[in-house]
């Protein structure tokens, strides 16, 4: 079996920045364990497998794997796969079947090798549980309890398909200072894949309003350069503090890793209730190749 694949950098316009993604095309012949093994072989934060859709009028079914687990939803694979298919099919919209549900992506291509994709969240974020104590979280993140909290934001646990512990910190200096202590990590953050999204407001940065870092040892990852599913969960907490109406925000991630990324966040509240959340970003093709799985 031989399969074509693309490599893209996602949530960036620049090659060798953002979050790398492998997109394996026409992957219907693969078994589950083969997909997981291929994702481990690529060893990127996620690998997407493009399959024939279950509904004829949809563009594709996609499955998303980290090196260790399959995910029902993830933002950077959705954006990257949408841009890849938009370029291949020369279309401005694709409908992707993911485990979390159907996702419609609107795409603006930029030449033959890149573009911007935006999608509405298939499931709005919801609060999952109470967060751990600030002392426990600070110890796990290598911070002090005084570092936990940012403005009116307090820690929370949200999911828009994948559970994340959302930990606000006082400023960008505290964000840079995070040094995870993985001993006892899963006891402090027991839910889901033990994934933590540390974020702060950035009033002094002209290109973005928020900054974040994501740590997910339970997904087979250390730090992730850009995490759309975490930004989607964060929309739930942002909405708690937002007025009615629509907001457009930009969040940076990956700067501390040397992989700067920008995630476009959209939310709309009506009558005090979150009614829409959206994620968007750029992606650019950096390579392509052939997987040779033949005997």
From 169, 179, 171, select the one nearest 142 (Cα to Cα).
179
Q: Are 257 and 236 in contact (CB under 8 A)?
A: no
Is the four-CA dihedral 145, 151, 203, 189 of positive or negative sign?
positive
Active site annotation includes 46: yes
Compute the distance between CA of residue 230 and CA of residue 252 in angstroms, rounded to an integer: 12
- Beta pairing class for 70-71 and 60-65: antiparallel
Record the tokens describing residue 253, joined without a space.
């991630």
Q: Which of 46, 97, 201, 223 is catalytic?
A: 46
Contacts of 46 (CB under 8 A, 6+ apart): 21, 39, 64, 65, 66, 71, 74, 76, 77
Q: How far apart are CA 204 and CA 53, in angstroms?
A: 45
3-state secondary structure of 41: helix
Distance CA 282, CA 71 (A): 21
Sign of the CA dihedral running 73, 76, 77, 80 = positive
Instruction: Tell me the CB-side half-sphere exposure of residue 241, using CA atoms within 13 A.
Output: 12
User: Annotated catalytic sites, by residue?
Assistant: 46
């Amino acid at each position: 079996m031989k399969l074509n694949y693309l490599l893209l950098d996602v949530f960036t316009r620049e090659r060798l920045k953002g979050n790398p993604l492998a997109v394996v095309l026409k992957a219907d012949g693969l078994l589950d364990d083969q997909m997981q093994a291929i994702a481990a072989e690529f060893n990127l934060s996620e690998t997407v497998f493009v399959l024939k859709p279950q509904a004829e009028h949809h563009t594709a079914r996609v499955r998303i794997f980290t090196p260790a687990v399959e995910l029902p939803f993830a933002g950077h694979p959705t954006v990257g796969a949408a841009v890849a298919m938009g370029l291949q099919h020369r279309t401005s919209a694709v409908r992707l079947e993911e485990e979390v549900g159907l996702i419609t992506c609107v795409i603006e291509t930029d030449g033959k090798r890149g573009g911007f994709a935006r999608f509405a969240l298939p499931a709005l974020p919801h609060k999952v549980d109470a967060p751990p104590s600030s002392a426990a979280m600070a110890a796990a993140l290598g911070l002090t309890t005084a570092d936990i909290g940012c403005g009116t934001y307090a820690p929370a646990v949200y999911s828009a398909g994948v559970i994340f512990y959302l930990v606000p910190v006082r400023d960008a200096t505290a964000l840079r200072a995070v040094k995870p202590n993985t001993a006892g990590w899963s006891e402090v953050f027991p839910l889901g894949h033990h994934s933590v999204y540390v974020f702060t407001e950035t009033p002094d940065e002209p290109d973005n309003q928020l900054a974040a870092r994501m740590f997910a040892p339970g997904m087979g990852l250390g730090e992730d350069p850009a995490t759309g599913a975490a930004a989607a969960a964060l929309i739930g907490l942002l909405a708690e503090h937002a007025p009615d109406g629509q907001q457009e925000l930009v969040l940076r991630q990956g700067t501390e890793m040397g992989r700067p990324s920008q995630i476009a966040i959209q939310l709309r509240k009506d009558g005090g209730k979150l009614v829409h959340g959206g994620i968007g970003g750029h992606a650019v093709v950096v390579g392509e190749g052939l997987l040779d799985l033949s005997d």
